[in-house]
Amino acid sequence: MAEQASKVRIAAVGDIHVRENDTGKWGEFFKEVSRQADVLVIVGDLTDTGDEGEAEVLANEMKQCAVPIVAVLGNHDYEKGRHKLIRSILMKADMHILDGEAVVVKDVGFAGVKGFGGGFDKHVLSMFGEGAMKAFVQEAVDEALHLERALSRLDQEHNVARKIALMHYAPIKETVLGEPEQIFPFLGCSRLAEPLGRHGVLAAFHGHAHVGTLEGRTHDGVPVFNVAKPILSKLDLPFFVFEV
């Protein structure tokens, strides 16, 4: 019981965009994470162009990390259609990559999806019109359902009290403020926020909106953090630390 009640420090970052010429660039970053946190979460865009060579560089750099890493993929990781290969490379390097799955690390449950666009609140896109538009909306619906199922597994199979949600796309509008309003529908979707309050999630982390805002809350009061690296860099933070 004492171990379950112990505090866990979660370091969070997104949009690290590792490139093939980044060998040696990330070692100190991972060492600093290991000094300040118990778990590292990376919320998508692990690679810059979705190339497996970039994933290999990241896998090698991760050897400097002494704490578990939990991640989701982002749109850049899907760019060349090699996301399955990227996932395989990084999972072989002991990274937990979640795509509608859940994992328990240090008695904290992590549920993760990539997420998708679709807009926010009363401006969320509806499934009406051309087939292409319906397919766009369906992708967001499916991602929200995947998150719902992952959180349900944490409740039913693992019975963990502390739950964290990871996604690349934003679940609320507040954390994309600063980006051009015209592109809000492509930065996230309110459908991703719906499962968070129902399952008592302590916090959700996302990236994708590089010029967004660090912190906001869902209508249910769940804290949401946009930990895209460009945002953290402006705040002089290598990563964001959240304690549960």
Residues 6+ apart with CB under 8 A from 68: 39, 40, 94, 96, 105, 106
Domain that holds residue 150: 9-243
Give dist(CA 78, CA 61) in Å, integer: 21
Q: Is residue 178 part of a domain?
A: yes
What pLDDT is recorded for position 2?
Answer: 39
What pLDDT is recorded for position 114?
Answer: 98
Q: Is residue 4 part of a domain?
A: no
Mean predicted lDDT score pLDDT of the chain = 95
CATH number for the domain harbouring residue 213:
3.60.21.10
Structural domain total, the chain: 1
- pLDDT tens-digit series, residues 118-174: 999 999 999 888 999 999 999 999 999 999 999 999 999 888 989 999 999 999 999
